[in-house]
Structure 1
Amino acid sequence: MKRSISRVFAAILCASSMISQAATQQEIDLALAPVKNNAQLQVILSDASALDALEDNLPLFLNSVTYTQQGAHDGIHFDQSVLEDNLTVTEIYKILALFGQQTNIAQYQGAEVVNDTDRLLLDISTSALPYCEAASPIDLSVIMDSSKQALFSYAQNNVACDGNVELTENTTITYQLVNTAESPQGLRLTGAGFANPFDAHIETVTVSEDGQAIYLQNNIQNTGVSKFQFIFASDENTLLLLSPDPQVINRPEN
């Protein structure tokens, strides 16, 4: 019996050996993280650390820290905006490393970029993101940087992915819009545009009434890659916003 699966692998590396390495790296980062609980966090706070870069915003960050003890995604969670709004990419990376979450640096596209190291961290993390899974909704975030450029990012269960999905059977893919204080006002999805809407890789597209979710239904009998762009409207102006093109790959099992 066929099951719907999405292979997780780095977008720039297709070899299956690299898939396991990417997954293992996250596990290694978490295993070696200096901070896994509140007691360890207090030890870190007693001496100089990467957290010092937050300066007056440190109490705000600490108040946002929560710990989960059960479920598939145990770990430490915090308000990402406190880091993104006040630190450079490199400073954020060093803080994430304390919690074993440095592989999530791609989620901080709005952070300040002041040197080559900042740019390198974002370039590497973005190009090496894994595919998204079709089995659960994909969070889609759009924020505006200081020059009013729209930055797009995707994540599932607080882990960044590249927005692309690989399918092995007929599946409905859900993208859920996540608006933040940095998002355009009144941002909403209105549809999706396709490079080739006649190849039937994607058969139907449905948008929720509130414009906060979009659903794509594929036809696995039509193999290949379907490239598309999300279409957004907002209260900022009457112009429509287009996303970079995520892809759906129909690859039926033999």
Structure 2
Amino acid sequence: MKKTLLLLALTASLSTQAATQQDIDLALAKIKNSADLQVVLNTPSALDALGDNLPQFINSVTVDQQVSFDKEILINNLTATEVYNILALFGQQTTIAQYQGAAIVTDTDRLLLNTTALPVCNAANPIELSVTLDTQKQAHFGYTQSGIECDGNVELTENTTVTYQLVNQPNSPKGLRLTGAGFTNPFDGHIDTVTVSSDGQTIQLQNNIQNPGGSKYQFIFATDENDLLLVSPDPQIIDRED
């Protein structure tokens, strides 16, 4: 009986540890605020790999509820391993899968990028959708659930209403709001209806499981930045037979 209880306790402990790994990384991060950043800049660190691009990267760093920065500066100038080491300073190393454009020079680079993939999102819960602009005014899209990043896609085995909730960040376009969704093939029978909330902050897609396969869609946004419409590059619903 004692052995069984011990095993159950250990299992629960490991499950909790896995579920909070991102929190642990953030807690152990060397850089949590502007003061921490200045301390790190005064000592040798992984940031040194940026060389002449370091000032541009530092200027892109913002500190709000969490630290954010221009990902493209890392992708365009570093190897995957160098990116990973910099992410670790901010407690964001679990997001390395988002840096697929980083250079692959060593086996470690290949390991970090080729075997790391974001999980699909859980359609049972709302999916948080964010859009941010880097210093070059390039839009970047991200998806999270309960603080864990996912790839935006969902896999379904039954009729489901999939909900995406727009979460604005300090570097999101001004007045960002959803206006609808466009489809690569709107006639494939995967999505029946699309509903956007009156404030443009939520979009719901009613799925129809009758046809196995995938349906790619793109979110359409309006902003106060200009009169042009912004279109996301993904995601998709994949209907699978149960």
TM-score range, shorter chain: 0.5 to 0.7
Contact 2:133 2:139 in 1 (8 A): yes
- Once the two structures are TM-superposed, the CA of residue 199 in structure 1 deviates from its matched residue by 1.1
Q: TM-score, normalised by structure 1?
A: 0.62
Partner of 1:58 in structure 2? 36
**Alpha-carbon spacing, 1:104–1:80, altered in 2? closer, same or farther (3 Å):** farther
Deviation at 1:81, TM superposition (A): 3.8
Higher helix share: 2
Q: Which structure has more RCO (C-alpha within 8 Å, separation ≥ 6)? A: 1
**Residues 235 and 156 from structure 1, CA distance in 2 versus in 1: closer, same or farther, beyond 3 angstroms?**
same
1:132 maps to which residue? 121
Q: 1:85 to 1:199 in 2, by over 3 A?
A: closer
Cα pair 2:157 2:241 within 8 Å, conserved: yes
| Aligned match for 1:84, one of 69, 78, 82 | 69
Structure 2, unmatched stretches of 5+, are: 1-14, 39-62, 75-82
Give per-residue Cα distances to partners, 1:99-141, cap 9 Å, x unaligned: xx632355799xxx9x848xx69x8289611100001000111
What is the CA-CA distance between 1:225 and the residue it aligns to? 0.6
- Quote the offset at 1:57 in angstroms: 2.9
For residues 247 and 129 of structure 1, what CA distance do their matches in structure 2 show? 14
> What are the residue-to-residue correspondences of 1:92-171 with 2, within 5 Å?
92-95=86-89, 102-105=93-96, 116=103, 124=113, 128-171=117-160
Question: 1:134·1:171 contact (CA, 8 Å) conserved in 2?
Answer: yes
SS in 2 for 1:141: strand
Cα 1:91–1:197 shift into 2, 3 Å:
same
Count how many residue pairs are aligned between Structure 1 and Structure 2: 188
Q: Tell me the distance in 2 between the aligned counterparts of 1:126 and 1:137.
A: 27
Given that residues 120 and 151 in structure 2 are in contact (C-alpha distance below 8 angstroms), is that contact kept between their aligned partners in structure 1? yes
- Alpha-carbon distance between aligned partners in 2 of 1:128 and 1:174, rounded to the nearest angstrom: 22
Partner of 1:47: none
Q: 1:96 deviation in Å? A: 5.2
Q: State the match for 1:246 in structure 2.
A: 235
- Report the aligned-residue RMSD: 3.8
